[in-house]
Structure 1
Amino acid sequence: MNYFSLNNREHQTNFENAVVRGLAPDKGLYFPQKINKLPPRFFEEIQVLDKTEIGFEAIKDYVGEEIPENRLKEIISETLDFDFPVVPVEENIGSLELFHGPTLAFKDVGARFMAGSLGYFVEKGKIDKLTVLVATSGDTGGAVANGFLGVDGIDVVILYPKGKVSEIQEKQLTTLGQNVTALEVDGAFDQCQDMVKKAFLDDEIQQKRQLTSANSINVARWLPQMFYYFLAYKQLKEQKRKLVFSVPSGNFGNICAGMLAREMGLPIAHFVASNNANNVVTRYLEHGKYEPKDSVQTISNAMDVGNPSNFVRVLELFENKFGNLKKYLSSYSFDDLATKMAINEVYEKTGYVMDPHGAVGYLGLKMFLKDHKNYHGTFLETAHPVKFLETVEEVIDKKVEIPAAIEGILNKRKKAHQISDYDELKNYLLK
């Protein structure tokens, strides 16, 4: 499978180069040259397939022969070695829980798959020592740090906005050491992301380090997110109603992967992009004008993105036609007060505890279902509530049980380098 740059279709490369480069030389995101439909038999038999078999059938065309079949299955098996349950919450509404991995966030899947892929390329001598450079608004950093921890030949440098991630999220990316370094940026996530993009285009840095990105702009982080939707469909296949998925959306990699799965034949009728106050896509779908803006801080911080990188991939899936996109995507946005009220009301009614991101997804789903009664809705619960302990406990007025995976890091000492601008990032990378 070849990939082309969304800034220049003439520029093409293979899976390995797309993963290693992260971004095309012209700053464009890579996109698969072809999207093949899966055979109807796959969907008919999906309930008897295990997670590795499902993941392999979904992603094999995008990897091609660049990773041998047995090794690819091994990477997928290690990536998906935890549960992805759809938990009933209300009538015709379920929560797809994506927080049962090692860092309790949906990004564990993409980070582990990418680490496995790059680990294979390094092991086989296809690439030299790599530096994974990544910006995080919350959960990406911890997932990437965990996924790449101890992988030979790979260093990890993570930029995160000072004071704008939760305490547990910060601990997950600043306490591991070994080949993982955290840079605490005096600014917002958008600045972190801009600095990372600038570094990739800096010839002086490129001569010193071979950089790759582990944000969802990277195809090895983006593509495996479609696994969630296939695994959810396996559990929902007997539903008589049409399926709609509501996705808490920040950089739009997750929902874009779901839409790719739909294009491959997965029978999802509609998607809802649920936004917090950073609602550039909600506004776009209202008036057809895409207007990025500076992000604002919210309690659902992993979605605090003012210019979502992956939205260009969403547009490409629908041939950049506004009317095509509107058929399959709705979007709503909600402020922090509405988010807190949803957490409280669902807990009071059902006993189910949502994190702020899941709560935004729930609200978007409820809004869509008001006028679409013939759908069964699933919202994505993308992080464990414990990662937003202060907010959730204040709202439900109850202690949230802390999983063992988190208890082990709470008393560890934070290690992070302070930076405030691109020059300081460059100086660090050139050291």
Structure 2
Amino acid sequence: MEYISTRGRAPVLTFEQAMLTGLARDGGLYVPAEVPQMSADEIAALEGLPYEEAAFRIVWPFVEGTFTEDELRDCIERAYQGFGHVARAPLVQLAPSHFLLELFHGPTLAFKDFAMQLIGQLFQTALARTGQRITIVGATSGDTGSAAIEAFKGLENVDVFILFPDGDRVSEVQRRQMTTPAEENVHALAMDGDFDACQARLKDMFNDHAFRDEVALAGVNSINWARVLAQVVYYFTSAVALGAPERAVRFCVPTGNFGDIFAGYIARGMGLPVERLVIATNQNDILHRTLVTGEHRPEGVEPSISPSMDIQISSNFERVLFDAYDREGNAVEALMEELGDGGFALSQGALDRLRENFGSGRASEAETRATIRRVFETTGQLICPHTAVAVKVAEEHMGRAPMVTLGTAHPAKFPVAVEAATGQRPALPPRMADLFDLPERVTAVPNDLASLQHLIRENRSK
């Protein structure tokens, strides 16, 4: 399997090279040169399998030649052994033909664990062969950072620096999951600015090739293809549980950075009968506005009770634009330059292709709170604000095929919002009961590239 950049000017890489590289040297994102296909019989054969076995069958074609079958099986087994549910990603019925895919049973209670726990093991296996040491730098709107720290803390050959917005732009549980680990190889950096600013500085570091080579920089944000790949699996397992491939399925995904729903797009490209992929956004609705108007123009980020979606620059949107523009890297690069100048208008052909694959909707703060309350009253289920955004939008896009709404975080990660809506304060699982008693380790940093690079140089293991 070869991997190519969405901007067309970076070297073609293997899976291992793309995983360890993250962002391409031309500023683009790596995608498979071809998406492998699964036949209807191969999809049907996933029925009843343990999650780990399904993951192996889906991931293997993308990594063959980088890992042996035994190495991949071992990585997958270690990745998911710490999950709190034997099904890993169980389905719960919310209403007739509407199901919630619970993706919050991992060690940090968010869907990011599915990808981060696996790539932590893949990184470790790859680095053990060479003895190379790398520096991972990530930016987070809340869940990516805690999942990365949990996956890489204490591992040999890896230093981890996570940028997150300072102040109240992440929940207290999210912050403490990043700041309480005591392992010396992890560093939580509270940066002045919002998530888009954190993500911009991260890309600046990757685009400074001298610094990138000096510290052996690697990325674990969803710009890293391995992150997207790991998330493809639960689209298959949930669809098969509902009757695929004989029966088509719809998915509604709360998304800000577009990585999770792009994984569904890859699953569809592999042959999974996905009738519709629905983008659910909060008030920071650039993705919804783009599909409605054809104009992709960021506006200011407005803080919300679903902070992991408070994003205007959706990195993974570039990956789907690459396909919408017939994989013409020059066209994508031109769009990204226009985005830096304020935004761009999609060609009619590209817009039509996006609308063929995706629906969209948005939820206001009041609608999000009302949905949390209504779901609790009708099902007894507590859901997080991000999940509530998707439930509200999913209800507007129901069809003949069953709808699966992705439940992306445990409600206990956002207890204030959930309690305000329902009167019930969701409790953390027992294994995390001491989270608020642990000392925090955090460094406040400015929104300044040179300062961040100096800090990383001085604090990484030599």
TM-score (norm 1): 0.95
Q: Secondary structure at the match of 2:315?
A: coil
1:133 matches 2:137: yes
Aligned to 1:20: 20
Counterpart among 285, 290, 298 of residue 296 in structure 2: 290
Q: Which moved more, 1:159-168 or 1:397-406?
A: 397-406
Instruction: Give the 3 Å change call, closer, same or farther, for CA 181–343 of structure 1 in structure 2.
Output: same
Task: Give the % identical residues.
Answer: 34
Counterpart among 249, 252, 257 of residue 246 in structure 1: 252
Instruction: Give the Å deviation of 1:204.
Output: 4.3
For the Cα contact (< 8 Å) 2:10–2:25, is it kept in 1? no
Aligned to 1:346: 375
Instruction: Give the Å deviation of 1:328.
Output: 2.1
Q: Secondary structure at the match of 1:418?
A: strand
Unpaired stretches in structure 2, ≥5 consecutive residues: 327-349
Aligned to 1:117: 122
Measured in 2, the distance between the counterparts of 1:408 and 1:93 equals 35
Instruction: Give the Å deviation of 1:311.
Output: 0.7
Instruction: Give the 3 Å change call, closer, same or farther, for CA 42–319 of structure 1 in structure 2.
Output: farther
Aligned to 1:181: 187
1:334 matches 2:363: yes
Aligned to 1:425: 452
Instruction: Give the 3 Å change call, closer, same or farther, for CA 396–214 of structure 1 in structure 2.
Output: same
For the Cα contact (< 8 Å) 1:168–1:406, is it kept in 2? no
Q: Secondary structure at the match of 1:222?
A: helix
Measured in 1, the distance between the counterparts of 2:237 and 2:276 equals 17
Measured in 2, the distance between the counterparts of 1:100 and 1:228 equals 13
Aligned to 2:241: 235
1:89 matches 2:115: no
1:405 matches 2:410: no
Instruction: Give the 3 Å change call, closer, same or farther, for CA 272–54 of structure 1 in structure 2.
Output: same
Q: Which moved more, 1:406-415 or 1:287-296?
A: 287-296
Instruction: Give the Å deviation of 1:293.
Output: 3.2
Q: Which moved more, 1:24-33 or 1:60-69?
A: 60-69
Number of residue equivalences: 427
TM-score (norm 2): 0.89
Measured in 2, the distance between the counterparts of 1:382 and 1:338 equals 18
Measured in 2, the distance between the counterparts of 1:421 and 1:10 equals 28
For the Cα contact (< 8 Å) 2:3–2:33, is it kept in 1? yes
Instruction: Give the Å deviation of 1:10.
Output: 6.2
Measured in 2, the distance between the counterparts of 1:206 and 1:362 equals 41
Aligned to 1:172: 177
Instruction: Give the 3 Å change call, closer, same or farther, for CA 72–364 of structure 1 in structure 2.
Output: same
Measured in 2, the distance between the counterparts of 1:311 and 1:80 equals 28
- Counterpart of 2:444, as a letter, is Q
Q: Secondary structure at the match of 1:228?
A: helix
For the Cα contact (< 8 Å) 1:239–1:376, is it kept in 2? no
Q: Secondary structure at the match of 2:141?
A: coil
- Counterpart of 1:22, as a letter, is G
Instruction: Give the 3 Å change call, closer, same or farther, for CA 10–429 of structure 1 in structure 2.
Output: closer
For the Cα contact (< 8 Å) 1:342–1:363, is it kept in 2? yes
Instruction: Give the Å deviation of 1:73.
Output: 1.0
Instruction: Give the Å deviation of 1:205.
Output: 2.1
Measured in 2, the distance between the counterparts of 1:263 and 1:401 equals 39
Instruction: Give the Å deviation of 1:239.
Output: 9.8
Unpaired stretches in structure 1, ≥5 consecutive residues: none
Q: Which moved more, 1:404-413 or 1:223-232?
A: 404-413
TM-superposition CA deviations, 1:29-84 (whole Å, max 9, x none)? 00100112112211222214322221112111211211111010111222334321
1:365 matches 2:371: no
Instruction: Give the 3 Å change call, closer, same or farther, for CA 286–238 of structure 1 in structure 2.
Output: closer
Q: Secondary structure at the match of 1:247?
A: strand
- Counterpart of 2:162, as a letter, is I
- Counterpart of 1:349, as a letter, is T
Measured in 1, the distance between the counterparts of 2:52 and 2:405 equals 23
Report the aligned-residue RMSD.
Answer: 1.6
- Counterpart of 2:119, as a letter, is M
